[in-house]
Amino acid sequence: MMLKPLCEENGIPVYGLYVDGRWVASTQGKRAPDHNPADNTLIAYVHQATAPDVEAALESAQRASRAWADTRVGTKEALFFCLRDVIMTRRTEIQQILIKESGSAFKKALWEIDYVIDLIQTMVGEIRRIAGETMPTTIEGRVSMSFRQPLGVVLGICPFNSPFLLTMKKVVPAVAAGNAIIIKPSEETPLSGLLIADLFEEAGLPPGVLNVINAAVADIAPALTEDPRIKAITFTGSTRTGRLLAEGAARGLKRITLEMGGKGPLVVLRDADLDGAVRAATFGAFLHQGQVCMAGSRVIVDSSLYDEFCKRFVERTRQVKVGSPDREDTVVGPLIRISQCAFIAGQIEDAVSQGAVVRCGGGYNGSYFEPTVLTDVTPAMRIYHEESFGPVVSVLRAEDTGDALRLANDTSYGLSAAVMTENLSDAWYFAQNIEAGMVHINDSTISDEPHVPFGGVKNSGFGREGGRYSIEEMTELKWVTFQTAKPSFPF
């Protein structure tokens, strides 16, 4: 089975929305082009949802959520096992869509698929552990307990950088917990969202439990975030958009999980394994062209190792393969949009004008930006504070361990951090004191597993995704008591 368009126009496939288990055109016929970032070729037209389509998705999800909440756990487990098998069968198709639409390099696309398979298996295990507890009580004749119930309808707003993985991180837990979900994919990767609907449909998910509506977030987010049928919002994307969504959720008193930007520090202390630090820095900076919220875009190096680290890091960066994402040896492919190249070039120009040094890279061709290493970066420069979301890393000099911690925390973001050291005391000191939701010792800033509490602090967001932490976000905890004896009241 393959993702099938509604029709073709001059040889270009035209895809619709997925609402109530049906593939439909938008009610107003509005469409948007979908381009391959590698060469800007047109790969599809995708229908864009407007108000009537949003209402249809809401009605469908609300209706389906009630029946799905009551579905037996064995039925849900069987669905997810079938979904896993469907994904494994359609592995090549999924990989090719990720390469063509998001610019994912060959191996990175396969990693997304393998992660999702692991995610599904993790959540199957969680389905039977959605449990409450009994509690002691001080009141005579009372039995006290709690249990978890599905929220109802969840809204997932998804990013372009790992569109299969990060969308599935929202859909799979929401559905496993007994909710219906409406997905709004990134405008840059609409086919990836529709592909997920197609996979679930083949696996046998009942109509309405998953709806996918493509549109610009500004066009439909207000109607969705303010509608009382939406009980929770889960978002991955920019801090700016996340703030706006949080404001809308606050007005409606809705639950919201935000996973936003990052300016991840990789700290290299004086006793670090230098070669290991260089490898961790290279992977953390350049995976998926640096378009990763966990990217280690700031490397903070103890002054005793600074010069040698910079030398080895630049040498290794020059060996990073830039090329077409469909080549198996490519590491750095195209950025999602060519305008991002000009933005990053502006950051570099600003830094150089204030004394920073470009040790390698710094240029771009089309949407391909060279892997770039900057040194002598200071807080006066834009790139010190701003997220680049590209293959650019700043190397900062730390005078000692305390200075390294100060530099690591000198950011408005707080998603992922890493520390390279052989000293257990220093490792624990940084694990406790770095202002980040995740800290990795002797590893890259980029690390994720389906069962861990993934998330950040400060401008990187709040709430956690993964395993039972997702289940907690996607369910309501209810307290219930039973009186086995007549209660005594004071009046």
Residues recognised as catalytic = 259, 293
CA atoms of 272 and 406, how far apart (whole Å): 18
Question: What would the two tokens of residue 276 be?
Answer: 């290991």
**What stretches of 291-425 adopt beta strand conformation (E)?**
298-302, 357-360, 364-365, 368-369, 372-375, 392-398, 413-414, 416-420
Whether the Cβ atoms of residue 369 and residue 323 lie closer than 8 Å to each other: no
Question: What would the two tokens of residue 71 be?
Answer: 């579905």
Whether the Cβ atoms of residue 260 and residue 293 lie closer than 8 Å to each other: yes
Question: What would the two tokens of residue 353 be?
Answer: 């004008």
How many angstroms separate the Cα of 332 from the Cα of each of 90, 335, 371?
Answer: 25, 9, 8
Residue 173 zone, left/alpha/beta (φ > 0; ψ -120 to 50; rest): alpha
Helix (H, G, I), strand (E, B) or coil at 13: strand
Question: What would the two tokens of residue 473 be?
Answer: 């976000």
- Listed residue (104, 105, 37) closest to 327, CA to CA: 105
CA atoms of 129 and 468, how far apart (whole Å): 8
CA atoms of 478 and 303, how far apart (whole Å): 54
CA atoms of 337 and 291, how far apart (whole Å): 11
Sheet holding 153-157, edge to edge: 22-24, 17-19, 210-212, 180-184, 153-157, 230-236, 255-259, 461-462
How many angstroms separate the Cα of 418 from the Cα of each of 89, 293, 384, 439, 455?
Answer: 36, 14, 18, 5, 15
CA atoms of 128 and 422, how far apart (whole Å): 41
